[in-house]
Structure 1
Amino acid sequence: MSNATEPAAAIAAQVAALHTHFAQTVLPLWRGPGFSPAMQLPYEAMHAEDYTPLPVTRFRAMACARQLFVFSLAGDAAHAQALFASLRKYFRDEHHGGWFYSIDAAGAPLDTTKDLYTHAFIVFACAHYLTTSGDRDAAEVLADTASLIDSRFAATDGLLHAALDQSFSSVRSGLLQNPLMHLTEAYLAAHEATGDTAFETALARLTEGVARAFVHTPTGAIAELPIGTAGNRLEPGHQFEWFFLAARAGRAIDGSGLSAALERAFEFAERHGVDTLTGGVCAALNEDGSVQDPTQRIWAQTEYLRALATRRTPTDARALGSQIERFRARFLHTRGWYECKTAGGEIARADMPSTTPYHLATAYASLPTDSDARANPRP
């Protein structure tokens, strides 16, 4: 092997090990002990020590949708089909339209809030399930849910409310960054799955609104709350996540200016939010770059990996291999993963939620493979 291909090949081997852990350790947990055979739904979380589910108080539509995405991407058609059937059976509001936030342990509606975050994940999951299965019911659910989002959640300036009551008649939560980011992700997936240019139009409108309302001008970072809101915060993981989404959207969001802002946001988040000794990504920063929340959540680590692999500057390429290794050693283990750690490396949350495999899957899918190393050797 030539010297030019050695670093890339080494990274590809590290990535292959991540995929192996995911396929042999993570996925079996959610086909087996993490899955309720009676409800045909994933439990909210399981104990890391013995894989028993935490006491069941609810099942969430968003958790079901995330797992539908995971098993669609993994090519497990039977499990994905079961999840899609349960999503429609339990969470669809046949009277008012849209989707319930959660049901109780017996399957009755529990929280009937119409939550934008949940609806975005249903569009996202159905787009991937449609791509892998060809199920036309998924196409119908995708189209109906996207249309409902556009008509019922609309706020002002191209943005959308985060939550409404069951009948969509009153606002329960106004503008929040996180559901808008996942709606961006959903629109991208829906456009790729259907080819419908209306999703590009919606994407441009949404990102222009986000740029006006949420971008912190001094850093380029996208805040969690509209700029000027008291107690605002900047999450490094979300800067990395937005960086990937903006790169994937490409010319569709040129009018928003987000791509240029996120180049600066990446540098801000990396400089202030990533521990230089451990590679751990903190949960939140203040606008001046000081740490607001030092907790290290596994999803933020996966977004840093994905952003490094996406930006691909020579510095990023050199950092990616060491960051993969630090992530693997700090957050993965033979029985699963650590959900949260303190800055000092202590376990801050011991259970494993059903929503986390989505983060692992999206990150791993964006990391370079052996075929990438052969096709694109880098020094």
Structure 2
Amino acid sequence: MSAVLRGAGGDATTDRELRPAAETELRHRVLPFWLGLADREHGGIHGHVDADLVVDRAADKGAVRACRYLWTFSAAYRAFGDPSYLAAARHMYRFVTGRLLDAVHGGVFWSVDRTGAPADTDKHVYAQAFALYALSEYHRATGDRDALTRATEVYEVVTGVGFDPARGAYREQFDRAWTAKPNALPAEGRPAEITMNTHLHVLEALTAYHAVVPSPAVSERVAELVGIFRDRRPTCRCAWRRRACGSAATTTDACAWSWCRAAPRPADHGVRHAGHPPIGR
């Protein structure tokens, strides 16, 4: 049976009709745009493009965007088998592992300059989640064992240093050597010690990692995060990051996406959080 979707005008569209249209948009407009932003001189992609599509070749390059690019073209190659997508994924994999991963202290820097030299060396758990997500997908698409090793290293940092067992939640920000510091990424224009956004993307990353390392330990980490969202989100209020200008709907969609992908993974989602105070209090 084909699902029926309704647009803003009320017109019914089946998923069978929507799929080819979406695939055409993706493969002929969206992905070519991002392929065109590759920096062939210094690696990665250019760090900034303005509303008029003018590329700032001097801009720093952020870990989150780089890892999203790596995940996208890894997933696209796995879906469509297009060699140009594999080439793009390999190009970004070299940049992420060669420039953004910290060979001394582990994890990814927040950003590097246009040449790939460290710029902002702080470690945000938010960025680590995207690195784990991307490295896991790249391994899944290519079978590259080195990528799995790198993913495991990031996983161990995120679930080890990044998780605060006393509060039963993930911390936000550290310096280069993994000493905790106040979170500089604002929530609703003000500091927040713990954010929904970071937990959402950690859940996404752990689910992707579980797809390539389906161990009981990883399952338990996924179940733990599902429990956090299920049992503790209603009491979190301002400590959970909520975005203005309508993008809360996007965050809600991302939550639904992550829950649907995470739900089949752990054997037991009955993890409770007795003994932990509500997040943000």
Q: TM-score, normalised by structure 2?
A: 0.78
Find the aligned partners of 1:230 and 1:177 in 2 and give their Cα distance. Answer: 5
In the alignment, structure 2 segments of 5+ residues that lack a partner are 6-12, 78-84, 184-192, 273-281
1:227 aligns with 2:240: no
Please state how far the C-alpha of 1:35 moved relative to its aligned partner.
Answer: 1.4
Match of 1:13 in 2: 17
Alpha-carbon distance in 1 for matches of 2:55, 2:262: 38
Q: 2:30 aligns with which of 18, 22, 26?
A: 26
Q: Deviations over 1:16-38 (max 9, x none)?
A: 11211110111112222x11111
**Separation in structure 2 between the aligned mates of residue 230 and residue 67 of structure 1, nearest angstrom:** 26
**Residue aligning to 1:35:** 38
Q: 1:231/1:123 Cα in 2 relative to 1: closer, same or farther (>3 Å)? A: closer
What TM-score do you get using the length of structure 1 for normalisation? Answer: 0.59
**Cα separation, partners in 2 of 1:256 and 1:6, compared to 1, 3 Å:** closer
Q: Percent identity?
A: 22
Pairing of 1:83-162 with structure 2 (within 5 A): 83-155=92-164, 156-162=166-172
Q: Which residue of the partner structure matches residue 307 of structure 1?
A: none
CA contact (8 A) 2:110 2:123 kept: yes
User: Match of 2:253?
Assistant: 240
Bigger Cα displacement from structure 2, 136-145 vs 5-14: 5-14
1:232–1:141 CA distance, 2 compared to 1 (3 A): closer
Q: Relative contact order (C-alpha < 8 Å, sep 6+): which is higher? A: 1
- Runs of 4+ in structure 1 deviating by more than 6 angstroms, as ranges, are 230-234
1: CA distance between counterparts of 2:118 and 2:91? 20
Q: Which residue of 1 aligns with 2:68?
A: 66
How many Å separate the matches in 1 of 2:3 and 2:107?
A: 51
User: Residue deviations 1:295-344, cap 9 Å, x none?
Assistant: xxxxxxxxxxxxxxxxxxxxxxxxxxxxxxxxxxxxxxxxxxxxxxxxxx
Give 3-state SS (helix, strand or coil) of 1:110's partner: strand
CA contact (8 A) 2:57 2:114 kept: no
Q: What SS class does the counterpart of residue 215 from structure 1 fall into? A: helix
Contact (CA 8 Å) 1:121, 1:186: kept in 2 or not?
yes
Q: CA RMSD in A?
A: 2.6
Q: Which residue of 2 aligns with 1:338?
A: none
Runs of 5+ unmatched residues, structure 1: 217-225, 258-379
Give the 5 Å matches for 1:37-56. 37-47=40-50, 49=52, 51-54=53-56, 56=58
User: Quick one: which amino acid aligns to residue 241 of structure 1?
Assistant: A
Q: Does 1:175 align with 2:188?
A: no
Aligned residues: 243
Give the CA deviation at 1:72. Answer: 0.7
Question: Residues 215 and 21 of structure 1: is their aligned pair in 2 closer, same or farther, counting only changes over 3 Å?
Answer: same
